[in-house]
Amino acid sequence: MKIIGLWVTVGIVLFSTLMLNAQEPQTIVFLTWKPNQPEVWERLIQQFHQEHPQILVQMQIGPHSSTESHAVVTQRLRNKDASLDVFLMDVIWPPEFANAGWALPLTSRFSEEEQKKFLPATIAANTYHKTIYGVPSYLGAGLFYYRKDLLAKYKFDPPKFWTEMLVQGDAIVKGERDPALHIYAAQFKQYEGLVCDMLEFIWSHGGHVVDPQTRKVLLGEPPSVEAVTFVRDRIIGRAAPRGAINYEEPESLEVFIQGRAVFHRNWPYAWAVANDPEKSRVAGRIGVGPLPAFTGHVSASALGGWQFGISRWSKHPDAAWEFVKFMTSLHSQKILALEAGLAPTRIAVYDDPEVQERMLHLKHFLPAFKRARPRPTSPLYPMISQELQRFFSRAISDRETDVEGLARATSERIERIVQMEAAVQQ
């Protein structure tokens, strides 16, 4: 009878184990901004499910705008929402999220040896006080797209200077006699993208918003003021349509791929879209290179990109980490590069033979990525960004605006924010 009882006990334990294993998979919530190629992300998640049947990923889509996405993510993290496990972070968010205690430190999971497999700038962007809080997924830098067929037709080389772009564009627009054709399309709506575009004008004129070494605010100095004035007087409503003050990335790209702009500023993903014959009227007729500069200065691009973070309040950090590892793996980054046109953060992807064969343009991106500049690094960057967004939007939208006076007033407010940084740092 004791033997029978023993076997009954063992049987109950085995049955309980089988039932436990047969339970539904552990669900984790992944909050992402609205991707340009959602089908590619969905396929990757399905592959993850096949390799990790014990984990189910529920993808929640936020706004496409970085500014609006930031508001959604921070609200949930600030409320210690335990239902959120994994989120995408814009390249400017890690210092804020780390300082606030919202992002889970990943140093124990993301080894230094593994970090060395990524482009150094992307690791630096995710590191705060010598602790890493995000794993880079894809990066970007402002790039200059142009109609190489039109430049060849009018015997122009890609312009190196902004004024040269205006001269070439004017000649092409007049020569084509197409009232719908504009010289330039970019992102000038009041949101984070506007900050990137305007910083590129300022940097390429030798200016700064905040000096990265001295932390002195230089927005009101002549190089910055002159660059902003140039955009107001020469770009908005002239080189670019007046409606550009309402353009984010999708709207400005649509103008370009419909053949209504000669030149276009966007991130690396735009290459795949512009050369997709099902989406673009100018597929196969696109060139890409560094953004122009002002005479006597050098081209500059804003560093962009997105990284995976794990919520400090996640109840499933181990499952979340498995998902992050998969989505930032060599395999996933190669898929995102080949099928979504996203620039990888893993160095090895650039050396992959298939990537080199199918994405010849990527080798032209890499030097720009290595030279791209970060936006002002600060745990209070959202406050700085809000000031810059308001200033840039008002300055370029109204030709009667006193740009210098507005810049000096904005500089004073940013100076107060910079002075607050030491008080909020942990």
Q: What is the pLDDT of residue 412?
A: 97
Give me the residues paired with residue 185 across strands: 264
Q: What is the pLDDT of residue 316?
A: 97
What secondary structure, in 3-state letters, does the chain show?
CHHHHHHHHHHHHHHHHHHHHCCCCEEEEEEECCCCCHHHHHHHHHHHHHHCCCEEEEEEECCCCHHHHHHHHHHHHHCCCCCCCEEEEECCCHHHHHHHCCECCCCCCCCHHHHCCECHHHHHHCEECCEECCEEEEEEECEEEEEHHHHHHCCCCCCCEHHHHHHHHHHHHHHHCCCCCEEEECCCCCCHHHHHHHHHHHHCCCCCCECCCCCCECCCCHHHHHHHHHHHHHHECCCECHHHHHCCHHHHHHHHHCCCEEEEEECCCHHHHHCCCCCCCCCCCEEEECCCECCCCCCCCEEEEEEEEEECCCCCHHHHHHHHHHHCCHHHHHHHHHHHCCEECEHHHHCCHHHHHHCCCHHHHHHHHHHCECCCCCCCHHHHHHHHHHHHHHHHHCCCCCHHHHHHHHHHHHHHHHHHHHHHCC
Q: Work out the pLDDT band at 65, boundaries 50, 70, 90.
A: confident
Q: Is the pLDDT of residue 409 over 50?
A: yes
Nearest Cα neighbor of 160 from 56, 354, 268, 294 is 294
Cα separation, 426 vs 423, whole angstroms: 8
Q: What is the pLDDT of residue 16?
A: 43
Look over the chain and give the mean of its residue pLDDT values, rounded to a whole number: 91
Nearest Cα neighbor of 340 from 56, 27, 32 is 32
Mean pLDDT of 162-175: 98
Higher pLDDT, 290 or 408: 408
Q: Where are the domains of the chain?
A: 2-139+303-371, 141-302+376-424
Tell whether the torsion through CA atoms of 221, 223, 226 and 232 is positive or negative.
negative
Determine contact, residues 311/88, Cβ cutoff 8 Å.
no
Mean pLDDT of 135-164: 96
Q: Work out the pLDDT band at 17, boundaries 50, 70, 90.
A: very low
Cα separation, 40 vs 276, whole angstroms: 15
- pLDDT, tens digit, 9 for 90 and up, residues 349-391: 999 999 999 998 888 788 778 778 888 888 899 899 999 999 9
- CA dihedral of 44, 116, 358, 373, whole degrees rounded to 10: 100
Q: What is the pLDDT of residue 6?
A: 39
Average the pLDDT over each of 33-37, 162-166, 225-229 and give the range with the smallest value: 33-37
Q: What is the pLDDT of residue 14?
A: 39
Q: Is the pLDDT of residue 90 over 70?
A: yes
Q: Which residues contact 313 (CB under 8 A, 6 or more apart)?
A: 77, 80, 81, 82, 84
Q: Which amino acid type is present at position 358?
A: R
Q: Is the pLDDT of residue 337 over 50?
A: yes
Mean pLDDT of 337-347: 92
Average the pLDDT over each of 57-66, 184-193, 218-227 and give the range with the smallest value: 57-66
Determine contact, residues 319/149, Cβ cutoff 8 Å.
no
Neighbours of 369 (CB within 10 A): 24
Distances 376 to 73, 94, 307 between C-alpha atoms, Å: 21, 13, 18
Mean pLDDT of 81-110: 96
Residue with tokens 């605006």, as numbered in its chain: 401
The answer to whether 2-139+303-371 and 141-302+376-424 have equal CATH topology is yes
Q: What is the pLDDT of residue 156?
A: 98
Neighbours of 244 (CB within 10 A): 24
Specify the CATH class of 141-302+376-424 in words: alpha beta
Q: Is the pLDDT of residue 4 over 80?
A: no
Which CATH superfamily is 2-139+303-371 part of? Periplasmic binding protein-like II (3.40.190.10)
87 Ramachandran zone, left/alpha/beta (phi>0; psi -120 to 50): beta
Between CA 150 and CA 143, with CA 240 as vertex, the angle to 5 degrees is 65
Between CA 43 and CA 317, with CA 124 as vertex, the angle to 5 degrees is 50
Q: Is the pLDDT of residue 80 over 70?
A: yes
Nearest Cα neighbor of 217 from 407, 391, 389 is 407
Q: What is the pLDDT of residue 425?
A: 66
Q: What percent of the chain has pLDDT over 70?
A: 94
Give the sheet arrangement for strand 343-344, strand by strand: 55-61, 26-32, 86-90, 303-310, 135-141, 343-344
Q: What is the pLDDT of residue 423?
A: 73
Q: Is the pLDDT of residue 282 over 90?
A: yes
Q: Which two tokens stand for residue 52?
A: 């990790």
Q: Is the pLDDT of residue 410 over 90?
A: yes
Q: Work out the pLDDT band at 22, boundaries 50, 70, 90.
A: low
Mean pLDDT of 295-299: 95
Q: What is the pLDDT of residue 8?
A: 39
Higher pLDDT, 21 or 44: 44
- pLDDT, tens digit, 9 for 90 and up, residues 93-105: 999 999 999 999 9
Report residue 136 CA to chain centroid gap: 11
Q: Is the pLDDT of residue 57 over 80?
A: yes
